[in-house]
Amino acid sequence: QKEVEQNSGPLSVPEGAIASLNCTYSDRGSQSFFWYRQYSGKSPELIMFIYSNGDKEDGRFTAQLNKASQYVSLLIRDSQPSDSATYLCAVILSGGSYIPTFGRGTSLIVHP
């Protein structure tokens, strides 16, 4: 079992819809969770991070964390074509190294 798993997609949604991206992780002791966005040919850039169970909102983005079920999700409201990108989930696993481990990413396509 991989440490951080994401469906590679692509996930296709119409403009204005809610896009839901999911990530599961294997290490129950993981403490910190991140969502990065990566446009084609560019480097990853942080969207948001979350530590605690529940929801964290930032503009059109909401991160949801459920440690008991070991998943973290990202909701994008009012999706725009400019949101089309690969979304990478990263987790800091337990063990003390504090090194972010990335999933393979989910490709999101927002069509007009």
Partner 1 sequence: EAGVAQSPRYKIIEKRQSVAFWCNPISGHATLYWYQQILGQGPKLLIQFQNNGVVDDSQLPKDRFSAERLKGVDSTLKIQPAKLEDSAVYLCASPWGSSGANVLTFGAGSRLTVL
Q: Closest approach of Cβ 33 to partner 1, in Å?
A: 10
17 or 61: CB nearest partner 1: 61
Residue 100 has which token pair? 């972010």
Token look-up 């129950």 returns 28
8 binds partner 1 (CB under 8 A): yes
> How many C-beta atoms surround the C-beta of residue 95 within 10 A?
10
Segment interacting with partner 1 (CB under 8 A) among 13-21, 57-65, 68-76, 98-106? 98-106
67 binds partner 1 (CB under 8 A): no
* Burial classification of residue 106, based on how many CB atoms lie within 10 Å of its CB (0-12 exposed, 13-18 middle, 19 or more buried): buried
| Cα three-residue angle 89-93-97, rounded to 5 degrees | 120
Among 49, 60, 71, 109, binds partner 1 (CB under 8 A): 49
3 or 17: CB nearest partner 1: 3
Binding-site size for partner 1 (CB under 8 A) equals 24
Cβ-contact 6, 103 below 8 angstroms: yes
Q: What is the C-alpha to C-alpha distance for residues 107 and 31, in angstroms, rounded to an integer?
A: 25
57 binds partner 1 (CB under 8 A): no
Residues that bind partner 1 (CB under 8 A): 4, 6, 8, 32, 34, 42-46, 49, 51, 88, 90, 92, 97-105
